[in-house]
């Protein structure tokens, strides 16, 4: 009886190990290029919480519902909804029934250098929203299923030009996602040149928001006047450039308060404010409470 029990336990262990090996596929090489393709659930979701520097994450919810908390903000993710996350997103908690994750680093694929081929910069990643979500329709689900199977098959190949093949699959996934956003949102009626301008502005804000809070700086980088930029964003995107800049500053301010022990004065200085009073007024105007009150309330919630 004991031998039979041990046999079944051993068989169960082997099955579990096979599933872990099969469900976790990683490509890496001597150039530190990294791509991982994973099936996620509540048993192995801890992998999801550990992105490395420069990692980008695509999370495709294949279950009925996924609950996730990012930067202390709760999200309900629908079935076949896809999230696009950068290394700056702090994942606090997730309840995952069934999901698929693609994670890659900058060495494997640099979206900045290859933006002309994909068009994801400032839209899927480093966009104006806290996180970008894409809802797949039936046709898109079928396309993603094909890509997922192709990813996994190529991971098993270990053959010549494997990196190039995996990169082409990733590019196709990103391009399909960009098309969905542009075809199913207000961007469908916006000229390509205007969308590209918006994307470039979003990315420039991501790079420079700590030092530059004024629209004039970004307008100069884009060879536009501040008035032209403001008029375009207000009329086409229903969101002013200064609002996008301030929203990005607030995301970083909340992260610093939430996840560091820096003083409010130190956070203000890192965000480009010369004095704590100016930063506190800015924060209170946006959040409704002062930075100190926000940190105190957060400690109460956490405890």
Per DSSP, the residues of 135-167 read E--HHHHHHHHHHHHHHHHHHHH--TTHHHHHH
Percentage above 70 pLDDT, the chain: 91
Closest CA to 169 of 33, 19, 63, 35: 35
pLDDT tens column, 269-301: 999 999 999 999 999 999 999 999 999 987 766
Other beta carbons within 10 angstroms of residue 115's beta carbon come to: 17
DSSP state of 121: B
> Could you tell me which CATH number the domain at 192-302 has?
1.10.10.60
Domain 2-189 has CATH 2.60.120.280: yes
What pairing do the DSSP bridges indicate for beta strands 56-61 and 99-104?
antiparallel
- Please give the helix or strand (H or E) that residue 223 lies within, else none: none
Q: Which residue ranges make up each domain of the chain? A: 2-189, 192-302
**Domains 2-189 and 192-302 agree in fold:** no
- Please give the helix or strand (H or E) that residue 198 lies within, else none: helix 192-208
What's the 3-state SS for 231-300?
HHHHHHHCCCHHHHHHHHHHHHHHHHHHHCCCCHHHHHHHCCCCCHHHHHHHHHHHHCCCHHHHHHHHHH
Read off the tokens for 257.
């308060």
pLDDT tens column, 118-160: 999 999 999 988 899 999 999 999 999 999 999 999 998 878 8
Q: Tell me, yes or no, if the pTM score tops 0.85.
A: yes
């Amino acid at each position: 009886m004991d031998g039979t029990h041990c046999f079944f336990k051993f068989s169960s262990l082997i099955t579990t190990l096979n599933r872990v090996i099969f469900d976790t596929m990683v490509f890496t090489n001597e150039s530190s290029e990294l791509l991982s393709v994973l099936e996620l659930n509540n048993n192995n979701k801890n992998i999801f919480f550990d992105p490395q520097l420069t990692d980008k994450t695509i999370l495709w919810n294949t279950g009925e519902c996924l609950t996730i908390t990012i930067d202390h903000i709760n999200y309900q993710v629908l079935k076949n909804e896809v999230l696009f996350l950068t290394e700056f997103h702090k994942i606090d908690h997730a309840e995952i029934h069934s999901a698929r994750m693609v994670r890659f680093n900058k060495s494997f694929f640099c979206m900045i250098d290859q933006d002309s081929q994909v068009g994801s910069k400032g839209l899927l990643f480093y966009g104006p929203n806290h996180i970008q979500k894409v809802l797949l329709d039936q046709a898109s689900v079928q396309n993603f299923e094909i890509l997922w199977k192709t990813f996994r098959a190529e991971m098993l190949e270990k053959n010549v030009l494997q990196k190039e093949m995996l990169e082409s699959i990733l590019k196709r996934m990103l391009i399909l996602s960009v098309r969905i956003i542009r075809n199913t949102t207000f961007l469908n009626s916006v000229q390509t040149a205007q969308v590209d301008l918006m994307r470039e502005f979003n990315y420039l804000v991501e790079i420079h928001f700590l030092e530059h809070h004024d629209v004039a700086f970004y307008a100069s980088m884009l060879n536009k006047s501040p008035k032209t930029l403001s008029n375009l964003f207000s009329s086409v995107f229903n969101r002013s450039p200064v609002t996008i800049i301030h929203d990005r500053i607030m995301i970083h301010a909340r992260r610093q308060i939430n996840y560091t022990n820096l003083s409010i004065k130190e956070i203000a200085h890192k965000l480009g404010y010369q004095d704590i009073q100016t930063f506190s007024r800015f924060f209170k105007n946006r959040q409704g409470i002062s930075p100190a009150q926000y940190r105190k309330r957060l400690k109460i919630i956490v405890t």
